[in-house]
Amino acid sequence: MQIDIIETTGLGDRSYLVSVDGVGVVVDPQRDFDRVLALAEKRAVRIALVVETHLHNDYLTGGLELSGQVGADYVVPAGDSVAYERVPAADGDVLEAGPMRLRVLHTPGHTHHHVSYVLTDAADEAQAVFTGGSMLFGSTGRTDLVGPEHTDELTHAQYHSVRRLAAELPAGTPVFPTHGFGSFCSATPTSGDSSTVGEQVTVNPALTQDERSFVEELIAGLTAIPAWYSHMGPGNAAGPAPVDLSTPRLIDPEELADRLAAGEWVLDLRTRTAFAAGHLPGALNFELAVANFVTYVGWLIPWGAPITLIGENEEQVADARRELVRIGIDRLAGAAIGSPEQLGAGQEPASYPISDFSGLASAISADPQLTVVDARRDDERAGGGVRGSRHIPIHELADRIDEVPDGDVWVYCGSGYRAAIAASLLARTGRRPVLVNGGYGDPDTGAAAVGLHTDSVSR
């Protein structure tokens, strides 16, 4: 059997196409399923089944539309209430597609009705298990996305689900999770690019800890939930609208200037260094070239707010649109193509300086009262920060902007990506940011390397 991995790095997820003898099964497809169709054509297979391990919280599925387009059965966990026709998958069910069999295991934890699919051949030998948000590589799916009132119950359920998988499957069974490659659906960081059930027995917290320790540590380690997650479950239950990957309406410099003047969300897709060197006043820097793009657009921009893209070319805009439709941002207000000089309508580009942690150390030495903002999450800050810095996570900055004094402000994060967004937000309010472009924890150039790291920091 051929198992092809379809990576969606921007969300940290994987989908799968399983094929044999001209028949295919698709697991947890993303909304831009043209990638699946292209792969199926390459493999010369007919898609007979499209299956979901759960109603996803971090993206809108392409499963409903894909199954309708190719005439495949669409399989969704039986316990989930949905507004469309589907084949319900209940514990113990066996689904057939050519010589392939998918045995359904109810593995609650990530959601109440989550299932895993054990892929077997005609001889009923396990070939793989698709675990969705249950057993991940060295971790499990987080258990707080359904609602805080369910977290304790689901965490206990997650523990038993992973143990069930380990108990019922041969040690050599390959594990194919949906989450765990950077997704915020992972309860803790994952490790490795592939694994087996037997390997997980030695490294997965649900299999190496007792139940109480697992539950307490998982819940204590849960981090902030991206804002757009609250829209994904309901959207997947209702059935996402057909995907639209067409080019947004192109706007001219005059219309772009009006939107900037109105304070709308105008996103410049260029690199953080290019943006800092010259950008349209009021634009915000959401660098497309980094995997975090869709995460922070979805997290920071109010749901349904008009968004305008600025791209260097149409391909860049098309790539951004593809990323955004995965989380249901379908209606873009428009896009502008060109450089700040071409799009400025006679207005001079703005700029701000870029430095590194060594530069920040020198600046603090010269001015101990320097305003420094740490844009990392709470869990990152718990491991230490720059002494005297103000901790304002990037997803809180827009609402807490008044806590940042006017004038010069240096801003850092774990890599420079979120700091670049923060710098552009600060610049839009008239402050004078300096972007610290680098990894806080980099052993050679990070905060500790230049004497800035301290475990004792104020919020």
Query: pLDDT digits over 409-446, tens only?
Result: 999 999 999 999 999 999 999 999 999 999 999 999 99
The pTM assigned to this predicted structure is: 0.95
| Residue 64: pLDDT over 90 | yes
From 459, 442, 447, 438, select the one nearest 377 (Cα to Cα): 459
pLDDT at 459 over 70: no
Which residue matches tokens 């007919």?
46
CB 205 within 8 A of CB 109: no
The residue-averaged pLDDT of 388-394 equals 97
pLDDT over threshold 70, residue 83: yes
CA 112 to chain CA mean position, Å = 21
Q: What mean pLDDT is predicted for residues 291-296?
A: 93
Convert the pLDDT of each residue in 395-416 to its tens digit. 999 999 999 999 999 999 999 9
pLDDT digits (tens, 9 = 90+) for 211-230: 999 999 999 999 999 999 99
pLDDT of residue 122: 83
Two structure tokens written together for 348? 């001079």
**pLDDT tens, 245-277?**
999 999 999 999 999 999 999 999 999 999 999
Whether the CB-CB separation of 205 and 140 falls below 8 Å is answered with yes
Complete domains list, the chain, with CATH: 2-238 (3.60.15.10), 253-343 (3.40.250.10), 354-454 (3.40.250.10)
- What does pLDDT average to over the chain? 96
The per-residue pLDDT for 404 is: 97
Mean pLDDT confidence for 323-333: 96
Specify the pairing of strand 100-106 against strand 94-97.
antiparallel
What integer pLDDT is reported at residue 128 of this predicted model? 98
- The pLDDT value recorded for residue 123 is 86
Confidence of residue 457 (pLDDT cuts 50, 70, 90): confident
Q: Give Cα separations from 446 to 107, 349, 372, 378, 434 (angstroms).
A: 41, 30, 15, 19, 16
CB 283 within 8 A of CB 310: yes
pLDDT (mean) for 90-101: 96
The mean per-residue pLDDT over the stretch 84-89 comes to: 98
Answer for the pair 46, 67: CB distance below 8 angstroms, yes or no. no
Instruction: Tell me the helix, strand and coil percentages in the chain, rounded to 5.
Output: 30, 25, 45
Name the token pair of 37: 């169709």
**Which residue has tokens 């893209």?**
309
Write the DSSP string, 419-456: HHHHHHHHHHTT-EEEEE-S-TT-TTTSTGGGT-EES-
Q: CA dist 11 to 167, 177, 178, 180, 442, Å?
A: 30, 14, 11, 10, 24
Q: Which two tokens stand for residue 223?
A: 């981090």
Q: What are phi and psi of 248, to 5 degrees?
A: -60, 160
- Least Cα distance to 447 among 455, 435, 439, 437 occurs for 439
Block residue for tokens 């949905």: 82
Residue 281: half-sphere exposure toward Cβ, Cα within 13 Å: 13
Residues 6+ apart with CB under 8 A from 445: 356, 357, 358, 438, 439
Q: What does the pLDDT read at residue 150?
A: 97
- Helices 293-300 & 417-428 angle (0-180, nearest 10): 40
Average pLDDT over residues 89-101: 96
313 three-class SS: coil
pLDDT in tens, 141-169: 999 999 999 999 999 999 999 999 999 99
Residue type (1 letter), 18:
V
Q: Is 300 helix (H, G, I), strand (E, B) or coil?
A: helix
Contact (CB, 8 A) for 119 and 1: yes
- What pLDDT is recorded for position 290? 80
Q: What is the pLDDT of residue 17?
A: 98
